[in-house]
Amino acid sequence: MRGPVTHPRPPGPTSRAAGAVASAALLLPLLGAAPSAAAPPAPGLQKAFATAAAEYHVPQSLLLGVSYLQSRWDTHAGAPSVTGGYGPMHLTDTRAALAKAARHDGNAEDPRGDTARPARHPRVRVPSQDELPARLKTLPRAAELTGLSAERLRTDPAANVAGGAALLADAQRQLGEPLSADPATWYGAVARFSGADDFATAAAYANDVYEVLRTGERRVTDAGEPVVLAPQPRLSPRTAQLARTGLRPASAAGTECPTTVSCEWVPAPYQEFGDGDYGNHDLADRPASSPIRYIVVHDTEGGWEGVLQTVQDPTYVSWNYSLRSTDGHIAQHVLAKDVAWHSGNWYVNAKSVGLEHEGFLAQPDSWYTEAMYRSSARLVAYLAAKYGVPLDRQHILGHDTVPGPTTAAVPGMHTDPGPYWDWRHYFELLGHPFTASARADTGVVTIRPDYAGNRPAFQDCGGKGKACTAHGSSAVRLYSDHDEKSALIRDPGLGSAPTTGVNDLSSRVSTGQQYAVAGTWGDWTAIWYLGQRAWFRNPQAGPAAVPSTGVLITPRAGLSGVPVYGRAYPEAAAYPGGIPVQPVSALPYTLPKDQKYVAGDRVPGEYYYSVGFDTASHRVVLGKDLYYEIQFGHRVAFVRAADVTPVPAG
């Protein structure tokens, strides 16, 4: 979604028993919430864990493991997460976060990306405070248990850790378990700490915590503090405790999820309404009829229950999966064989699976939790293996890298999950880290800054012109010369001067994306980007990119340039009678001669004709013209294979 815009969340029924209680949770974005300027200094975080563990008789390693899954030990300067969670223990106080939140306008983009159907119009409802579920009110409970003020628990990391320890100890006592020094005896308490209301989600969360305990972790936090958790490879938790937690069973029946995550079926409706209209997805027969080539990562710009309400609205749009921030729980809405309406590009929709992650892109510290990252990575790895989707940035797309299907659509395309989604960490969790894979002279680089240390300045967070909090980022800024005082790179398709706005993709690249090198100058590297030479700082001591390999494409000899497309549609002759020919319309870009771009798949032109409720009329049109997918700018694009020549890197 576009950052300072609320993803639509209209009211509607939910299929879960708990939905009536939590139906309005976090429909209002927390983008306006900001870190408190009054946060008092705290002792070293490692010491805070030791102190809290001793005071509340919780194993220190357990406290560290739970906190790592909640926040990776980051403090976020007292700002709330997407679900109103604060501090390294992610103690939730959604009422306080909502009180500071700002309202935002809707977005007019048609997520289906096909002018054959009208765009859907969102409706947004603000929740009442008493509708929030218990998992979004853990900080007030921690205040009761510790005697510490809610403000201190939100802003003081040491107090926040103490609050988390008190909650764990309270859960352990409620289960009738002793406050043992052995972390193996705390499995049930960890499951309850997750805030999940079902057995499977709580178990998945607890299993992740114990995996962290077995492997150990160490990192420097966003506050610059080193924290270490020593590995305990032989640790085996007492999982039988889960039976005494009182959590409800949940069925994964009907879902397409790996067994390593918690998943439920919340179906999107396929039904007819109005004058021959229908929604909110299309039935298909993938991959038998057409391969699945992409997985698209979105953020919701709204909260969990609103997500479920929207996807069950037949008059709106859909996506395949939703992922919850607090515990990584997954809801599936559309089967992979069918086509969800989520990316704003019908060609991509017809060949992709869409994942919505609970979050906001335009507030750096409305952070994505480690629990959600891990759950998402497991789901993506499962889907990629099942459907043969390569684990790279030309196939695992952000919504922000999906191209506009037409010139008119380019300015309105969405920009989520944004510069604060940690692509480097995400691909490490996928088991495909971005590494230097070639000599420095191959002529191809993979963008790979250090996330925590890479902090480009952005604005428009929480309001037009408002500076974003300095924060780790996956984005690297591009300039017209090897000088940060030079002009930013301009995107001809946007029709406006480039800015440092958090939603302005004109002049930035993202971790994992690959480009052809166009020159070097000291600590600077130039790449070919949108038909231009674009420069970024790439010092040897702290590189923003690493050398890699790949196949490059360049215009065929004799051509001064070739058109660029936002969709790979068939030639006119491929359409049978009764199916309207879709225009193969070029975008407002040209790939000039002597420039090179990294190529992905070589694919035939394809169009899924699906404009009626009756599936008998649906048809996949396959052309003879071939296309290359390329990394052209921030977004991917397509060029006709007949127009270009492939060139091996190096």
Using H for helix, E for strand and C for coil, what is the string for 447-509?
ECCCCCCCCCCCECCCCCCCECCCCCCCEEECECCCCCCCCECCCCCCCCCCCCECCCCCCEE
What's the pLDDT band for 23 if we cut at 50, 70, 90? very low
Query: Residue 120: is its pLDDT beyond 90?
Result: no
- pLDDT per residue as tens digits for the range 283-303: 999 999 999 999 999 998 877
| Within a domain: 136 | yes
Residue 417 clears pLDDT 60, i.e. is over it: yes
Under the banding of pLDDT at 50, 70 and 90, the label for residue 147 is very high
Query: SS3 of 626, please?
Result: strand
* Residues 584/588/593/594 CA torsion (nearest 10 deg): -120
pLDDT digit string, tens, across residues 531-556: 999 999 999 999 999 999 999 999 99
Number of compact structural domains in the chain: 2
Average pLDDT over residues 76-80: 85
Do 231 and 215 contact (CB within 8 A), yes or no?
A: yes
- DSSP assigned state of 411: G
Task: Find the Cα–Cα–Cα–Cα dihedral 189, 193, 198, 200, rounded to 10°.
Answer: -70
Please give the pLDDT value at position 29. 31
The tens digit of pLDDT for each residue in 348-365 reads 999 999 999 998 777 666
Confidence of residue 1 (pLDDT cuts 50, 70, 90): very low
Which structural domain range is residue 609 located in?
404-650
| DSSP state string for 176-194 | T----S-GGGGHHHHHHHT
Proportion of the chain above pLDDT 90, given as a percent: 71
Tens of pLDDT, residues 462-511: 788 899 888 889 999 999 999 999 999 999 999 899 999 999 999 999 99
Last residue within a domain, chosen from 187, 210, 244: 244
| Residue 255 forms part of a structural domain | no
Look at residue 282 and tell me if it is in a domain: no
The answer to whether the bond into 563 is cis (omega within 30° of 0) is no
Q: What is the dihedral of CA 599, 414, 528, 522, to 10 degrees?
A: -120
**Is 381 domain-assigned?**
no
Whether the per-residue pLDDT at 85 is higher than 80: the answer is: yes
Mean model confidence pLDDT for the chain: 87
In a domain, 265, yes or no: no
Cα(254)–Cα(416) distance, integer angstroms: 29
Does residue 160 have a cis peptide bond before it, meaning omega lies within 30 degrees of 0? Answer: no
What does the pLDDT read at residue 129?
Answer: 52
If phi over 0 gives left and psi between -120 and 50 gives alpha, with beta otherwise, what is residue 288? alpha
* pLDDT beyond 50 at 104: no
pLDDT band at 42 (very low <50, low <70, confident <90, very high): very low
User: H or E element: which one contains 142?
Assistant: helix 138-146
Quick one: tokens of 91? 């103690």
The rounded distance, in Å, linking the Cα atoms of 635 and 648 is 22
**pLDDT band for position 9 (cuts 50, 70, 90):** very low
Whether the Cβ atoms of residue 64 and residue 227 lie closer than 8 Å to each other: yes
DSSP for 281-292, written as a single string: EE---TTTSS--
Q: Report the amino acid identity of residue 375.
A: S
Last residue of a domain, one of 244, 264, 284: 244
User: Within a domain: residue 9?
Assistant: no
The answer to the question of residue 160 being in a domain is: yes
Last residue within a domain, chosen from 244, 268, 289? 244
Residue 623 located in a structural domain: yes
* End-to-end alpha carbon distance in the chain: 37
CA distance 608 to 4: 32
**CA 235, chain centre distance (Å):** 32
Extract the tokens encoding 220. Answer: 């420097």
Under DSSP, the state recorded for 620 is: E
